[in-house]
Structure 1
């Protein structure tokens, strides 16, 4: 691995990839000014390796030959073999260089890419939750309830956006209301504790639903996150409706905690697949009420805007913005950039 200068532009055309637990999305950015060439979403389970996916679903479908790649992956980036948290793929940048002809490969964390998107998304790609406010050029936070729960900060300093990827989805979360105290004994802990990701992701919806049913002395009949959201949407299932309401409350509490930690006056951005699906629930009072309920700082919290990211390819948009103008972002590349 050679160490190039930080924020040195990668050579165009650039393959951009957003690789989550379930889906992978690829685009090619031919040059600085063009719109990305999009390829259909693919399911990671359909391809044994990421190399096969890139070869069959990108390289064979276009005559544009990418010279470099920027990949956002769900999982920590350590060493030359990058294991993805929720799928079987392993990213081996040296193999992408030797076998697929890339000259330069940069690997970022998926929530770093979501944070880049929060820096560059225009208002047509975000929906305001709660009081409307123009986000100021100040620190921001991204939370993404999806397959798991991703969290990233975005700090603005010296005219530059610095993403701060971390593991904020694994902080402790505790009961607060009387109803919480009835439900929490039935939640499934991990090694003795309830982490935010146990509640605020797809399987978290099901965990909350089961605990609500147990607290009500009922059998839990729904098994998938989509069953729970469907029961809430149709109004046919009271426990599912309460589950989505509690999910909104807990998400508001955690979003408020993260906003306090980062002093995120630039706003909190809700990404991830679940946020978009439950916008009507987030527009109910529970989310903002929980978000603002942070005495002695409730007045401050009322000033912080919250948004749902509605861009269908937000992480890719963030990577594209970085690829075009790397100097606008403080992205440390050491240990994460491979060159042929």
Structure 2
């Protein structure tokens, strides 16, 4: 019997599909698709299978940016709704399962190689069987954790983006004071995500008596990285500091002392800037637990497909 599995990572913009062969521990036939070119995920699978030049996989596991449910996957942002049972019936999979994208990222963590990661803090805690955490700023701010029940990995997704956030500097206090009346609540994702970076830039410009330009998050990070705009530099520094506070809280809340992994599309493009920022200071600025957090390994995930790796290794039940 074939031990090959279709693995898919379905995001709000793009979908990636490939084959994972558990016998050889290898991936093949990986293809990426723009979701806007298709009316459904089933159509993407149909296209991928029609182009496949090797044995069809007998199983399927899908990582999707959707709230965890049982059989049905409801991707609210793009209006897609599909069922694993229906996929199995249509494409003759003996097993078909799915998991949330950050559950998939969590399942990937033990299988990431050194070339899939960039070290931010070496740490000195041996992570064998200790819980692991992953946080990922991108369109929003997601998170997940991985722990073990005996030999079985158990992955959970979380919503750190909707947790509270406290100011830690005079500038942050000014930002909070400016934006609290406008938003009614200060939560982490208000600042620690792509749109949050733009919000930080706008607030910092106002505080300094400037009219903010209409800049995308990519524009702001680009200007910050090349040092051409002091307001953008301050915004990105503040973003990194708040991310550090958020990550420290997330590790403590999950007891994830085996290691923190940073995912998402933003941080891999700015690792030198992150290293020079106050990220690590804020990560460990947690009172009596600060010395312990300074020992937790911190790494950035740089591989393009952690979701596929997680979907490859997640148990199908």
TM-score by length of 2: 0.91
Aligned equivalent of 1:87: 78
Determine if contact 2:49/2:56 at 8 Å carries over to the other structure: no
The answer to whether structure 1 residue 316 and structure 2 residue 308 are counterparts is yes
Q: Would you say how many aligned residue pairs link Structure 1 and Structure 2? A: 316
Give 1:143 shift.
0.2
Matches within 5 A, 1:1-340: 12-78=3-69, 80-133=71-124, 135-137=126-128, 138-187=130-179, 192-322=184-314, 326=315, 333=317
Determine if contact 1:74/1:85 at 8 Å carries over to the other structure: no
SS of aligned partner of 2:219: helix
Aligned counterparts of 2:11 and 2:32: Cα–Cα separation in 1: 11
Determine if contact 2:201/2:235 at 8 Å carries over to the other structure: yes
Q: Which has the larger displacement, 108-117 or 118-127?
A: 118-127
Determine if contact 1:17/1:72 at 8 Å carries over to the other structure: yes
Distance 1:121 1:189, change over 3 A: farther
Determine if contact 2:123/2:295 at 8 Å carries over to the other structure: no
Determine if contact 2:123/2:296 at 8 Å carries over to the other structure: no
Distance 1:25 1:177, change over 3 A: same
Give 1:224 shift.
1.4
Distance 1:221 1:123, change over 3 A: same
SS of aligned partner of 2:144: strand
SS of aligned partner of 2:278: helix
Determine if contact 1:145/1:202 at 8 Å carries over to the other structure: yes
Q: Which has the larger displacement, 167-176 or 77-86?
A: 77-86
SS of aligned partner of 1:40: strand
Deviations 1:45-67 (A, max 9, x none): 22111011111134434343222
SS of aligned partner of 2:133: strand
TM-score by length of 1: 0.85
Give 1:189 shift.
8.1
| Larger RCO: 1 or 2 (CA < 8 Å, sep 6+) | 1
Deviations 1:79-109 (A, max 9, x none): 5432114333223223323333333210111
Give 1:199 shift.
1.5
Aligned counterparts of 1:239 and 1:298: Cα–Cα separation in 2: 30
**Cα RMSD (Å):** 2.3
Deviations 1:302-336 (A, max 9, x none): 111111011221121122233xxx4xxxx7x4xxx
Q: Which has the larger displacement, 95-104 or 11-20?
A: 95-104
